[in-house]
Amino acid sequence: MDLIKVLLVIEVRLIGNIFASVLEEEADIKVAGCVTTLKDALGFIQTREVDIALVSAGLPEQGALEFTRAIIDRDLSTRVLALGLSEENKSEALRYIEAGACGYILKDSSVRELIEAIRLAQKGEAQISSRVAGAMMERLFYLARMFSAVENKMDGDVRLTSRELEVLQFIGEGLTNQEIAARLVVEVGTVKNHVHSILEKLNVSNREEAASYLAFIKK
């Protein structure tokens, strides 16, 4: 039987060790490692085989979201499960799903539900609540409508600078102005100026609409 190799990324080592003890009792699950930071998690995955990364939503500075995006950006085979989300906060679950997470575990989930989520993730499946499913349907409808509107407006005459294209790519990844400034090693005010110019050139009113242009610019 192939074991499901799980990496625990939890900011409190003691809690991570408790999760590890619970998971190791399952015959089909092996805890490959237990780390407390985003940096250590990325380093671990790049050197060892990991099937499922169980990542705490409590990591500082949106570390769980950053980790999820990093896995997608590096085209790694590891699947990400977000741990500790709230059923009431639908938008939080959607952010992780949009970032590339294959599922999530709620704060009040049982041990059996946690283990089942890991096994489903290993099979490429996910179990989500009806509330989040409804929010996903609304989101898909909104994106489809917005995408159609952008396609109708796109005339191929948009001219963005190389730096503006770089900023637009980061916007598409869901990064804030502060996060983009850190990536580019520039002032936040400089990023704000780029974002304003991008919105003006694309003739859109918000970052989400601007990000939808990426699909056309990349063609």
pTM of model > 0.95: no
DSSP state of 162: H
Query: pLDDT tens digits, residue range 99-108?
Result: 888 888 888 8
Q: Please give the single-letter amino acid code of residue 103.
A: G
SS3 for 16-77 is HHHHHHHHCCCCCEEEEEEECCHHHHHHHHHHCCCCEEEEECCCHHHHHHHHHHHHHHCCCC
Res 130: pLDDT: 59
The CATH number assigned to the domain with range 4-133 reads 3.40.50.2300
Q: Please give the single-letter amino acid code of residue 45.
A: I
**Domain limits, the chain:** 4-133, 154-217
Res 92: pLDDT: 77
Res 133: pLDDT: 59
| CATH 1.10.10.10 holds for 154-217 | yes
Query: pLDDT tens digits, residue range 53-83?
Result: 999 988 887 788 888 888 887 878 899 999 9
